[in-house]
Amino acid sequence: MQRLRAVSSSFRRENGASPTPKPSMYFRNFSLALVSTLVATGAWYAYKDSSPSATSSLAGGVGQGSVFGSLQQTRGLTSQSIYPNAPQPPPKETSEEEQPATSTRRAVVVDNDQVYTGSITGDGPLQKDTDDSGRKVLEMLTPEQATRKLRRNEESYLVGRGKGVVRYDVVQIPSNDPIEDDHVEKIVEVPQSMTAGGDGASGNTDWMFWGVFDGHSGWTTSAKLRQVLVGFVARELNATYKNALADPSLTFPTPESIDAAIKRGFVLLDNEIVHESVEKVMKANSKRVAAELLAPALSGSCALLSFYDSKSKLLRVACTGDSRAVLGRRGASGKWTATPLSVDQTGGNQDEAARLRKEHPGEENVVRNGRILGGLEPSRAFGDAFYKWTRETQDRIKRSYFGRTPSQLLRTPPYVTAEPIITTTKVEPEKGDFVVMATDGLWEMLTNEEVVGLVGQWLQEQAESQGGGNRGSSWLKSWFSTQTPLPVEKLPESQKDGDVNGQRTPVRQLQWGVNSRENERFVTQDKNAATHLVRNALGGKDKDMLCALLTLPSPYSRRYRDDLTVEVIFFGEGDKSGNVVLNVEASAPHGDVKAKL
């Protein structure tokens, strides 16, 4: 039996463990003795494959650096060897021509923090219906089924506003059940009278918002953000623009006032979630009301919100937590450059740790093991009231309703804030800029450069396959020449090791043992750019790895991958029909889906 060291972590937002990966998970071949035990106590997944290569272990069909590592071939197992006491039908005499082809399954056995891989031959009793679609939890997804799962929640919209945005793609892949991520997209048409400046521009302005929300300890906070965050921010922006119009010395709000408006929207909403909810609950004196109003306070969520003003062509990215936005821009060399538009805000970020220690002098455990009070990883988040309520409030909530005992390290809350850090970028639609926004589940798997290079690769494929002959691809123009493996400028070697600019490196690549070259890892086969990124994050060309990771159900899956929410926003010179329409070829068939405007 060969042992391959890998990295283990539950990667929960709040578990008090060190964020440093611990080498405690192993990938192994399974033996006959283990199988009979793990079938009953672990989780066993297999899919049928009658091809000759399927008679070897999973690693035999997986390139070096796959999730299963470099493992030895496993001897085939029959249903009789797994269930030695099971009744077997009498042998049937047949000629060689009548001999049935041996059915082989590829299998993954999960037991605690260990993964066993191998092959099974025969049609033993290894199936059980578990859902309405007829899928069996004991069966590993086939590549076709994996693709259907990847595309189940994808959406794509063509933006015909003529304001610099031509398309955006979205996809979500759950790991938690239910998924704790959420997202929002809204376009607000602002009358010319509201944004009139001294630049002679005419016509209405579009305020475009895209948001991804990475929930933790539940889904309620992220759902609350999806419902109301854009409204809170737009209300503050509206007031700021009106104040500028009323001031004869101003023709446009100052950049500082716009940033302040966005921050007010974030902070006011969090205050409503965390503090105003307590006041309402105390007045109502009802456990039912408490359960409803306190849910978004007791869970938490990071928030990444992009605000694009079509008049100024400025893109503001407001980040609370460790979701990330990256700009892709095509350079003179024909390659794309990756520019981060946000910083991962965690206890492991030196700037964030220094800020917290300055705000809470004398509290040496305000950041411990890269976590706030040794528990919460994001240093900025909505909700997470246990890091914001006073001890008296927490004791009262626990005594009258429900809750938990305050941390022994709690001294001078709040320790966590929802105030975002904002960056501003001048977008160049004529150069085909694009922005990728994603929860940290994607950045655990891919670097900024890999993500931008993959989108550049996808754009090139779309241009070559469609020729720019329809509305959905005409904005691609003729940007592309053959680029391999990824058309992206690489980071200098000196910046590749460790965290770069406050951003963590993809720890999942360490966990899975990924070390293959790009041309051996990545594939282009999806019409939706966000789905394209997720496919390559989960395995790309390594179909066994992709299928295994998508087969694992909650809660097993959370050990190996997080919830994934990805948005890709494409800037360019599109049509001016004024419509936002569903891009059917890159969207899941959900019936009469209407664009968000």
State how far Cα 504 lies from the chain centre.
15
Asked if residue 589 has a cis previous peptide bond (ω within 30° of 0), the answer is no
Cβ neighbors of 470 (< 8 A, separation 6 or more) are none
pLDDT value at position 248? 83
Alpha-carbon span 65 to 70, nearest angstrom: 7
pLDDT value at position 137? 47
Alpha-helix residue ranges (DSSP H) falling in 187-276:
192-195, 220-246, 255-271
- Residue 186 pLDDT exceeds 50: yes
Mean pLDDT of 231-244: 95
Alpha-carbon span 312 to 425, nearest angstrom: 10
pLDDT tens digits along 536-553: 999 999 888 898 889 888
At CA 324, angle to CA 320 and CA 329, rounded to 5? Answer: 135
Mean pLDDT of 10-17: 44
Q: What is the pTM of this model?
A: 0.79
Alpha-carbon span 105 to 58, nearest angstrom: 10
Cβ neighbors of 373 (< 8 A, separation 6 or more) are 365, 366, 387, 407, 409, 410, 415
Alpha-carbon span 381 to 270, nearest angstrom: 9
pLDDT value at position 522? 93
Burial class (CB in 10 A: 0-12, 13-18, 19+), 519: exposed
Structure tokens, 309: 């003003």
Ranges 55-69, 244-258, 478-492: which has the least confidence: 55-69
Angle between helices 543-551 and 143-150 (to 10 degrees): 60
Of the candidates 212, 158, 178, the one whose C-alpha atom is nearest the C-alpha of residue 577 is 158
Q: What mean pLDDT, rounded, does the chain reach?
A: 77
pLDDT value at position 204? 87
Alpha-helix residue ranges (DSSP H) falling in 414-447:
440-443
Strands 114-121 and 22-29: parallel
- Residue 452 pLDDT exceeds 50: yes
pLDDT cut 70: percent of the chain above it: 66
State how far Cα 540 lies from the chain centre.
16
Mean pLDDT of 353-378: 97
Question: Rg for the chain (alpha carbons), in Å?
Answer: 26
What secondary structure letter does DSSP report for 330?
E
What is the sign of the dihedral through the CA atoms of 524, 529, 532 and 537? positive
Reported confidence tier of residue 239, pLDDT bands at 50, 70, 90: very high
pLDDT value at position 192? 79
